């Protein structure tokens, strides 16, 4: 079978052995797979897959279940599904833990597999950071949330999810057009993250100057000082990316004064039981919102698997970054 692997720092289609299905697993004939920054880091040698995971790239696979392992309901066979995996999604066939798979959501005019591949990892990441590491799903009324970098794959879903949970949502992007698109997704206000005055404006406009109860951030070190300024007392800063660096000086006095909580997370590093709980939560709470149209996948562009290098180039670009998720599809 074919599979996308990193060769000499470049993602390429290569020959690979068809994976064997073990107990508790399903085999998916892949129709679409998401492209994530983890893929770029893995190809560059900075983010090796966990022990036992395949070298093939890809963290979510959508397609048709063609085989099940011992202990898995045979009703899965022939069903369209999307699964969260530790690697191996960008291939002709992908093995997944059956407990980390969901039926594809209703997707309107979109191809169901493309929609599923655009949603699962982003929805899991957004739910984990907003709810598991943030506030219980039934306590969001009156909350003020800031999604930094809202035009990215996770950001576009997080804006919609936070709004669906009942929060007042601010967000940021790098250009006025992107800010406008984010308000169309449901954000109550959007600001250019290059402009400190704009950030102060939405803090005042949305929170009357008190600050945001939760900030979801992809910038890392480069955004730390600004995020602490924007955070409310007893606020939570969740860091899920390092796009502006890994190392920063931290004003611990401000952290103490605000009784702030700073934390980081990556989905890939979580234990299996936690991932299973997350996928089940997405199926129970997010999938109905997708099926009702309250949350929708935002797909920047779809590439054929043979053009995976172009997809990586687009995701890693310094300018004209994708608005939403990049997908590889047959």
Enumerate the domain spans of the chain: 2-120+268-329, 134-264
Q: What is the pLDDT, as a whole number, of residue 111? A: 64
Residues linked to residue 35 through DSSP beta bridges, in sequence order? 326
Q: What is the pLDDT, as a whole number, of residue 109? A: 39
Residues in the chain, pLDDT under 50: 108-110
CA–CA separation, 147 and 162 (whole Å): 9
Phi, psi of 61 (to 5 degrees): -125, 135
Strand order in the sheet with 144-147: 189-192, 168-173, 144-147, 212-217, 231-239, 261-264
Query: Residue 286: which of 134, 137, 79 has the closest Cα?
Result: 137
Q: What is the pLDDT, as a whole number, of residue 325? A: 97
Q: DSSP class of residue 100? A: G
Domain 134-264 has CATH 3.40.50.720: yes
134-264 and 2-120+268-329 share a CATH fold? no
Q: What is the pLDDT of residues 68-84, one digit of tens each?
A: 999 999 999 999 999 99
Q: What is the pLDDT, as a whole number, of residue 324? A: 97
Q: What is the pLDDT of residues 83-101, one digit of tens each?
A: 999 999 999 999 999 999 9
Angle between the N-to-C axes of helices 112-127 and 272-281, in degrees from 0 to 180, rounded to the nearest 10: 110
Q: What is the pLDDT, as a whole number, of residue 106? A: 61
Alpha helical stretches, state H, the chain: 37-43, 112-127, 153-165, 176-184, 196-207, 224-230, 252-258, 272-281, 287-291, 308-315
CATH code of the domain made up of 2-120+268-329: 3.90.180.10
Question: In the numeric block, which tokens belong to residue 264?
Answer: 């980081």
- SS3 (DSSP) at 112: helix
């Amino acid at each position: 079978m074919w599979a996308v692997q990193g060769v000499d720092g470049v993602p390429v289609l290569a020959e690979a052995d068809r994976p064997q299905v073990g107990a508790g697993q399903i085999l998916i004939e892949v129709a679409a797979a998401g492209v994530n920054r983890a893929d770029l880091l893995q190809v560059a040698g900075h983010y090796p897959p966990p022990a036992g995971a395949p070298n093939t790239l890809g963290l979510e696979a959508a397609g048709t279940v063609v085989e099940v392992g011992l202990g898995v309901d045979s009703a899965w066979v022939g069903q369209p599904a999307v699964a969260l995996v530790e690697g191996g999604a960008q291939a002709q066939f992908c093995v997944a833990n059956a407990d980390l798979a969901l039926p594809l959501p209703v997707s309107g005019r979109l191809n169901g597999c493309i929609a599923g591949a655009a949603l699962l990892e982003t929805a899991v990441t957004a739910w984990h950071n907003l709810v598991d590491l943030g506030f219980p799903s039934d306590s969001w009324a009156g909350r003020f949330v800031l999604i930094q970098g809202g035009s990215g794959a996770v950001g576009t879903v997080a804006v919609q999810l936070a709004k669906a949970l009942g929060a007042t949502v601010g967000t940021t992007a790098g250009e006025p057009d992107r800010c406008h698109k984010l308000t169309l997704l449901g954000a109550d206000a959007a600001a250019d993250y290059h402009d400190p005055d704009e950030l102060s404006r939405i803090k005042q406009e949305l929170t009357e100057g008190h600050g945001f109860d939760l900030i979801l951030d992809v910038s890392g070190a480069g955004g730390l000082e600004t995020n602490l300024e924007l955070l409310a007392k007893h606020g939570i800063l969740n860091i899920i990316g390092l796009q502006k660096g890994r190392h920063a000086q931290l004003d611990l006095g401000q952290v103490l004064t605000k009784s702030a909580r700073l934390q980081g997370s990556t989905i890939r590093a979580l234990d299996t039981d936690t991932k299973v709980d997350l996928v089940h939560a997405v199926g129970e709470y997010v999938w109905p919102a997708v099926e009702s149209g309250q949350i929708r996948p935002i797909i920047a562009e779809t590439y054929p698997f043979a053009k995976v290098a172009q997809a990586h180039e687009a995701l890693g670009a310094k300018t004209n970054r994708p608005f939403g998720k990049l997908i590889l599809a047959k």
